[in-house]
Structure 1
Amino acid sequence: MTIRPVELSKAYRLLQLGATTMLSAKHQDDADVMAAAWVGLGGPNKVIAYLGTQSYTRKLVEKSGYFVVHIPTVQQMETVLYVGGHSKFTSPKKLENMPLFYQDGCDIPLVTGSAGYLLCKVVHNAQQEQQFDSFMGEIVSAWADSRIFDGRHWLFDEAPEELRTVHYVAGGQFYAMGRGTKFNHGPGQD
């Protein structure tokens, strides 16, 4: 094995193994969905999402104070690529043929077929939002597809390929979640 230096501009890719996500937001009657690669946990019941200033969805999040994180599956890859490649700024009818639904207690549209959904209320931090395009959200509701999440754990070992979550690793390369491995003890333990 050889340990080599990694160019700093590419170092983030060492950690960028998390699930590909989509974000949706709505303000009044205006809604949008976008693909988002840089979304992750920011502490207990907190999510951090990078929303660039070029994002139409960001404008809706800023106005409403809410967003939904979607955990897409393999069967949704065309949708992920579509919402990632089209801006509502230039494609105002972007959501016209999108398979959307509304969950009780959530007025933000959800994309049909995701493995899970996290409704987040923005925890405002003007400096982080303006300087780093980083938005923290407190998870206020969550829903998941019971075929692949039993309320406590992912069930990927039993999941059909099309229901596995998708992970973006850069350069147009995605991976579907694989099989699990369970360890009963660690180093120094019997």
Structure 2
Amino acid sequence: MSSTIESVPLPESIRLINHGPTVMVTAAHGGRGNVMTAAWTLPLDFDPPKVLAIIGANSFTRELINASGEFALNVPPQALVKAALGVGSESGRDVPDKFARHGLKTFAAQKIAAPLVEGCVAWLECRVIRDANTAQNEKDYDLLFAEVVGAQADTRVFSQGHWHFETAPDELRTIHHAGSSQFYAIGEAVKTA
């Protein structure tokens, strides 16, 4: 089953994270890129699509985001759980190239400078919203409000605005962090009709 990546219409893009997956956050500025894992991201609005990400003010990724004003949310599947744990367990200040250290390859985003992680099943390209309403929350609570400016997904698991985990191999199921080094893969669909 070969991978095909297709653009996702922006009003549907928040569906890529509305089920609460762990994400890899990528950022770049001044010739330096970084990747970290985050479990606290959520959709805020459909059109224009907005997301909220909680990223510590002292992290190297946050430093790059503050400088560039943009970041990407990469949704890793079960096949990348070890890399997700690894990049979330060390700082880009201590490890100059976390991508190489954890065997992650990247490709260019369509709308932002931050790289996208190959092997993920969805990608959201985000620009930080900075105004009087968001500035204090960003400072006090490490909340980053962002508009999604580009989105893509692997059609083996997401197409026509919906996830299709039931027809994809288990290694393509998204992962969900439950604390420490414990992750779970998304489960079976529940029929409602």
> What TM-score, normalized by structure 2, do the two folds share?
0.82
What CA distance in whole angstroms lies between the structure 2 residues aligned with 1:106 and 1:143? Answer: 13
2: distance between equivalents of 1:104 and 1:39?
A: 21
Please state how far the C-alpha of 1:89 moved relative to its aligned partner.
0.9
Greater percentage in helix: 2
Give % identity. 38
Equivalent position of 1:188 in the other structure: none
Q: 1:87 aligns with which of 91, 107, 118?
A: 91
Please tell me whether residue 116 in structure 1 is matched to residue 122 in structure 2. Answer: yes
Q: Secondary structure at the match of 1:31?
A: strand
- 3-state SS in 2 of match to 1:54: coil
Deviations 1:32-64 (A, max 9, x none): 110001111122211100011221000111111
Q: Between Structure 1 and Structure 2, whose CA radius of gyration is higher?
A: 1
Provide the rounded CA distance (Å) in 1 between the counterparts of 2:79 and 2:58: 27
Q: Distance in 2 between matches of 1:102 and 1:115?
A: 15
User: What amino acid maps onto 1:118 in structure 2?
Assistant: L
Q: Which residue of 1 aligns with 2:173?
A: 164
Q: Which moved more, 1:107-116 or 1:136-145?
A: 107-116
Q: Of 51, 58, 63, which aligns to 1:59?
A: 63
Q: CA deviation at 1:174?
A: 1.3
Q: What does residue 10 of structure 1 align with?
A: none
CA distance in 2 between partners of 1:94 and 1:33 (Å):
7
Tell me the equivalent position of 2:11: none
Over the aligned positions, Cα root-mean-square deviation in angstroms equals 1.4
The offset of 1:79, in angstroms, is 1.1
1:154 maps to 2:182: no
Query: RCO higher in 1 or 2 (8 Å CA, sep ≥ 6)?
Result: 2
For residues 2-81 of structure 1, the aligned pairs below 5 Å read: 18-44=20-46, 45-81=49-85
Query: Residue 98 of structure 1 corresponds to which residue in structure 2?
Result: 104
Whether the 8 Å CA contact 1:144–1:151 is kept in 2: the answer is no
- Partners in 1 of 2:191 and 2:147 — Cα distance? 30
Amino acid corresponding to residue 30 of structure 1 in structure 2:
R
TM-score of the superposed pair, with normalisation by structure 1: 0.83
Q: Secondary structure at the match of 1:103?
A: coil
SS in 2 for 1:144: strand
Whole-angstrom distance in 2 between the partners of 1:151 and 1:60: 33
**1:102/1:110 contact within 8 Å kept:** yes
Residue in 2 aligned with 1:131? 140
Range with bigger deviation, 166-175 or 118-127: 166-175
Partner-residue secondary structure (3-state), 2:81: helix
Q: Give the total of aligned pairs.
A: 168
- Please list every run of 5 or more consecutive structure 2 residues that lacks an aligned counterpart in the other structure: 1-18
| Residue type at the aligned position of 2:106 | L
Q: CA deviation at 1:183?
A: 1.1
Unaligned runs of 5+ in 1: 1-16, 185-190
